[in-house]
A and B are shown apart, each in its own frame.
Chain A
Amino acid sequence: RMKPVEGRGCLLKEVHLNVTDLGLGYRTKEELIFRYCSGPCSDAETNYDKILNNLTHSKKLVKDTPSRTCCRPITFDDDLSFLDDNNEDYHILRKHSARKCGCV
């Protein structure tokens, strides 16, 4: 597995939301802190990424547009649980929020 690189621009950010804002179909009035990874990864690029960039521009890769370095979660936050509006069912969200970011 490739080790993620610490891109300087790729940062962990957070926003305070209602669980319903997540659009996952849950009915509850509970809330959460959603943490996500955002920012440029240009300073963490390898020769591999530079080559892909050049090949895309010189149209040597006919149909493909392979992904470049992305700012993504490399560890996820703890699980989140909440009670449904029916006051009976609990739900647990796993791998829903980032804890650590990296350019991968």
Chain B
Amino acid sequence: PVVTRENNCLNAAKACNLNDTCKKYRSAYISPCTSRVSTAEVCNKRKCHKALRQFFDKVPPKHSYGMLFCSCPAGDQSACSERRRQTIVPVCSYEDREKPNCLSLQTSCKTNYICRSRLADFFANCQSEPRSLSGCLKENYADCLLSYSGLIGTVMTPNYLRSPKISVVPYCDCSSSGNGKEECDKFTEFFTDNSCLRNAIQAFGNGTDVGVWQPMPPV
């Protein structure tokens, strides 16, 4: 087998199942997100999204962020980063038969009040500022991570890309954007190439910005 290295995402999953609250709400979303409802549909996406929102609402960030923002050794396709990608059960909560254009996805998000407000929070709290030490305009990683995790369970549900550096995006792209190409690219780059969000995720994963949360258990 491969060289055994510390797998922080596996450690976070272990810690979750040893905590009654985390264990309960984890199974509560794994179940609808992995139950096939018909030959045509892999799951009931609406129920999966609802249970995912509950998970991030009810479980203390120490455990929920522990699984979502766990740090993995650089480089793709390690057991660690693949596990991190699987946290939200992407086959149900993320992927779809067709990949919509990001601007049309944004339009459909704005028709839902939960999605609209959470997307607005995300844009406000994870805005980059290259001149600040943190990389964020609002120098508050916790608020950025909270608004990012708040998008999980909406049509804007983001997930990690299989890329060597931390990069996330909702399930959409900028093909057939027409004259909206520039605006669409700006929208996706806020997810894929956002140094504030990336720094916030890394700081949580490395435990370097731990003061904002409850103390992490030794892993």
Contact = CB atoms under 8 A, between A and B. Distances in A.
A90 B34 contact: yes
Interface string B86-128: 1001000000000000000000000000000000000000000
Contacts of B17: 30-33, 80-82
A65 interface: no
Contacts of B20: 78
Interface residues of B, number: 21
Interface string B13-24: 110011010011
A96 B182 CA distance: 54
6 contacts: A31-B14, A31-B17, A32-B17, A87-B79, A90-B33, A92-B31
Contact of B27 (A30, A33, A78, A83): A78
Given A30-B17, A33-B18, A90-B30, A80 B82 contact: no
A80 B86 CA distance: 17
A103 B35 CA distance: 36
Nearest to B89: A90
Interface of B: 7, 10, 13-14, 17-18, 20, 23-24, 26-28, 30-31, 33-34, 79, 82-83, 86, 89
A78 B23 contact: yes
Contact of B18 (A16, A78, A87): A16
A78 B16 CA distance: 13
B86 A92 contact: no
Contacts of A90: 30, 33-34, 86, 89
A29 interface: yes
Interface of A: 16, 29-33, 78-83, 87-88, 90, 92
Contacts, number: 52
A17 to B, nearest CB: 11
Given A87-B83, A87-B86, A79 B31 contact: yes
Contacts of A33: 17-18
A31 B19 CA distance: 11
Nearest to A16: B18
Which of the listed residues A31, A80, A87, A88 has the most CB atoms from chain B within 10 Å of its own CB? A87
B217 to A, nearest CB: 14
Contacts of B83: 83, 87
A29 B89 CA distance: 18
B26 A81 contact: yes
B79 to A, nearest CB: 6
Given A29-B10, A87-B83, A79 B18 contact: no
